Amino acid sequence: MSRLVFSLPVGKQAGSTAYVRLDAAGAPAEHGTAQLSLLPRSTLAIGVWPAEHTTLLAVTLPPMPPARLQAALAGTLEDRLLGDISGQHFAAGPRGDGDGVGWVACCERSALARALADADEAWQSIDRVVPEPALLEPGWACLQRLDAARVRLLWRDAQGEAAWLHLDANETSAVCPQASRLLVEPGLEELARHWFGDAVELQACDRAQWLARAAACAWDMRQFELAPRAAAQRLWSGLREQAATPAWRRAGILLGLLGAVQLIGLNVYALQLRHQRTRLESQLQRTVQQALPGVPAILDPSLQMGRALNEARQRVGAPTGDGLEVLMGEAADVLGGTRPTGLEFAPGQLQLRLPAGRARAALDRCTAQGLTCSVDGNTLRLQSPG
């Protein structure tokens, strides 16, 4: 899985932004600067929010659900931030299972939301946003070059709170914080020793290595109202964008026309079937009326015709369709020589109690002969076809 880490532009900044692309093993595969819209694609995109627009503070909050966390962060930091906190976005630091909040990053909500929207419009969605001060461990500092005349000093104290300074690179002395380790951009080693002395451990860290640290950082400022959209929402949004292109729009119109033609054809076929059913029902009713001239009204042709046939058979002494004789004849065909231990008859239904294990075999023979049968334990039920 490839990962791209880049500095998030703030506001309507023009120019290029620094980036580094990491391969599946986490090693830098490509780095440089590019316009936001020209950044290489990747499986996972991580934005780094600049330290100059981030406040990283230490707090102590117990574990609580996300629904209450945002209000708790605002209430805790209200006296520690200048200005109106209603426009601030708060993001709790990484926590373990059951742990409370130890650090919080805050920034202007509208600025971060605009940066995310610009990246989404010009390039692709950002999966995670890491505050730049969080790239340092507590007690560490970082010295980087801004331009030919200025450098930036970023540090975190022992409690994890962060601060930064823009300094003149030609200053002979500077008030520097205490640090156990100093990350130094190549070319600034002599300035770092001049300012910090030899007691601080120096570690070379170019811009690509600096950004690559965000891939291993557990921070994510995309919380609360700035949380990433769900995967299904991102998929739906992508499909909508694709559907807006001329080629997909023409394909959609063609599919819509084909669907409309198919729907019209199905409705026409259903209408033909309804007309055919109505015609057959009318024909059946006329046939029954002709066969039963004494019946005042034909409401159910099949039922009334069956009853009339049974009455006619009874008058001439022939067995009726739901009579005992017919059902016993069908039972003789399916019992296969098995003697029933009990018998119950009702018009149209014959129940036979069979020895254990014989009912299922009789049911199989019923099915093979197309008879209407069912089994309940050792009882076989035969029903007349009418």
**How confident is the model at residue 319, as a pLDDT?**
57
For residues 37 and 101, membership in a common domain is answered with yes
Q: Which of 185, 144, 150, 188 is nearest to 169 (CA)?
A: 150
Total of domains in the chain: 3
Is residue 179 included in any domain, yes or no?
Answer: no
Four-residue CA torsion sign, 227, 228, 230, 234: positive
* Residue found by looking up tokens 């020793």 in the block: 193
Is residue 62 included in any domain, yes or no?
Answer: yes
Q: Please tell me the pTM assigned to this model.
A: 0.57
The residues near 252 (Cβ < 8 Å, ≥ 6 apart) are 243
CA-based end-to-end distance of the chain? 69
For residues 22 and 71, membership in a common domain is answered with yes
Q: Which of 194, 228, 262 is the last residue of a domain?
A: 228
State the alpha helices, DSSP H only, in the chain: 66-77, 109-122, 189-196, 207-212, 231-243, 246-291, 301-316, 324-335, 359-369
Is residue 176 included in any domain, yes or no?
Answer: no
Count of residues making up the chain: 386
- Residue 286 CB neighbours (<10 A): 12
* pLDDT in single tens digits along all 386 residues of the chain: 778 999 998 876 556 889 999 888 878 888 999 888 888 888 889 999 999 999 999 898 888 887 788 888 888 888 888 778 888 999 998 876 667 888 999 999 999 998 888 888 877 788 899 999 999 999 999 999 988 889 999 999 988 899 999 998 887 777 778 888 999 999 998 888 888 888 888 999 999 999 999 998 989 999 888 887 644 455 565 566 566 678 788 888 899 999 999 999 999 999 999 999 989 888 888 887 777 777 777 777 777 777 777 677 666 655 555 566 667 767 777 776 677 777 777 766 777 888 777 777 777 777 776 677 888 887 887 776 65
For residue 128, give its domain range.
3-138+203-228
> How far, in Å, CA of 162 to CA of 140, rounded?
10
**How confident is the model at residue 231, as a pLDDT?**
47
The residues near 382 (Cβ < 8 Å, ≥ 6 apart) are 327, 330, 331, 334, 349, 350, 352, 366, 371, 372, 373
For residues 121 and 10, membership in a common domain is answered with yes
83 CB burial (10 A radius; 0-12, 13-18, 19+): exposed
> How far, in Å, CA of 162 to CA of 107, rounded?
13
* Residue found by looking up tokens 């069956």 in the block: 306
> How far, in Å, CA of 64 to CA of 94, rounded?
14
Q: Which of 149, 145, 146, 107 is nearest to 129 (CA)?
A: 107
Is residue 76 included in any domain, yes or no?
Answer: yes
For residues 224 and 338, membership in a common domain is answered with no
For residues 219 and 274, membership in a common domain is answered with no
